[in-house]
Chains A and B, each alone.
Chain A
Amino acid sequence: MIRVQEQDFDVGLELSRMTENNHEVGAQSVFVGLVRDMANKEKISSMTLEHYPGMTEKQLAAIEKEAYKRWPLNDILIIHRFGRLEPGDRIVLVATTSAHRTASLESCHFLIDWLKTKAPFWKLESGPLGEVWVDSQEKDERAAIKWDTEDS
């Protein structure tokens, strides 16, 4: 399931809902991304996430579909926030469930790596020096590429 929303989410509640009444699940993995208060050694006071409505949902659905193709999963939940966030705020949640840990752990890692470079979001950080657009990171590109397979 994909959700793109402005409001916060409750991690515990979301994780419980995913496995409710599903006793095939033996493993659940989760990644939660948060806003840090430092960027390039400068304090930041807020981060505003802009996205491409319509395309965001499409891209996340494509990423989700790819994970289902690669691992035997019961469920995937991706929640991505947009709008103005402050240090400590949650940005993104990726959770996967499977019968066994390898599939849930690996697919969770894959999903967040792909999200970094393939989900149409842009981040604007505000601090004492003004506003700065967050650059894409070469390390994020490399992290996403390592999941590429010969047939994709």
Chain B
Amino acid sequence: MRLLYFGWVRARIGISGETLEPPANVIDVYGLIDWLKKRGGGYQEALEDATLIRVAVNQEITTFDTQIRRGDEVALFPPMTGG
């Protein structure tokens, strides 16, 4: 699974992206965020307050209950500030 991080989520985690395969019990974005937080360090700091996190799965903005699977591109980031 391709993970991408932007804005202060990227800055806190310390990398802009990585390829990881979460365990089989991670079935949705909620599960992914919980699993990443358990890695500690920058992940814990970046994802601590999930209400500030937005997600896109395969480049479509979506909600935390969205199912995710191998090969998906999942991006985690703060609210967008375009314009």
Contacts and interface: CB of A to CB of B under 8 A. Distances in A.
B80 interface: yes
Contact of A136 (B6, B10, B11, B79): B79
Interface residues of A, number: 28
B51 interface: no
Contacts of A120: 6, 56, 77, 80, 82
B75 A52 contact: yes
A134 B6 CA distance: 13
For the side of the interface on B, what is the size category?
10 to 19
Interface string A131-152: 0011111001000000000000
Contacts of A140: 81, 83
Interface in B30-83: 56, 59, 61, 75, 77-83
Interface string A53-66: 01100110000000
A56 B11 CA distance: 20
Interface string A86-121: 000001100000000000000000001001111111
Given A120-B6, A122-B7, A133-B11, A54 B80 contact: no
